Amino acid sequence: MNSKIYGYIRVSTKEQNLDRQREALEEYAKTKGFKYNVIFEDKTTGKNFDRPQYNTLLSIVKSGDTVVIKELDRLGRNFMETPKELQHLFEKKINVNILDTPLMNTGDVKLDYTINNMLIGFLSYIADKERDKIELRVREGLQVAKDKGIKLGRPERKLPQNFKKYYDRWKSNDITAIEFSKLLSVSRATLYRYINKYETERN
């Protein structure tokens, strides 16, 4: 069975134009003397890989086939997930030809394997660094907020209006907990959280 060649192009929004990528892929095909079986086009974010046309591509591409992409970030912009996606494709023996990274496809199987693994390693390193930077920014942001006396976490839940009046009636057994919760229009679990908060603050 002959291997197939697919193109994949993507922009992030419906307003953006796919022509530049399409022309680059068509020019490459013309230079190399082949025609694409299909060029898949997505107009959606590159932050994850749940995209309609990309999913269709994955459902039909097989070992020995080639996927041509103009730039690596057209495959994905997620530093964390893109290396994993490349690794997944390479493990299925799918050739990924990224036009702005020609070293990935030298034609020498052993050399391509080495270069691809180096690229994945490099991207994984960038992903780790990016993850570390994000975690550091979060920790620094939390510390700054703490130093400024800003309370973190969920906003403190205030007691409903008339809570004390109904609480007193409940305490004196004038109403049941079920009636109490219905009067406040809350669940029993929420009611008991309110009661615990009220009694803790009062003591």
Which residues belong to the active site? 12
Q: Write the burial class of residue 112 (CB in 10 Å: 0-12 exposed, 13-18 middle, 19+ buried).
A: middle
CA dihedral 198→199→201→202, nearest 10 degrees, is 110
- Are the beta carbons of 129 and 99 closer than 8 angstroms? no
Please report the DSSP string for 174-200 in residue order.
SS-HHHHHHHHT--HHHHHHHHHHHHH
Helix pair 188-202, 163-171: axis angle to 10 deg: 90
Distance CA 133, CA 152 (A): 21
Sign for the CA dihedral angle at 141, 145, 151, 155 comes to: negative
The answer to whether 183 touches 175, Cβ cutoff 8 Å, is: yes
Distance CA 40, CA 104 (A): 21
Query: Can you tell me the distance from the alpha carbon of 121 to that of 61, in angstroms, rounded to the nearest whole number?
Result: 24
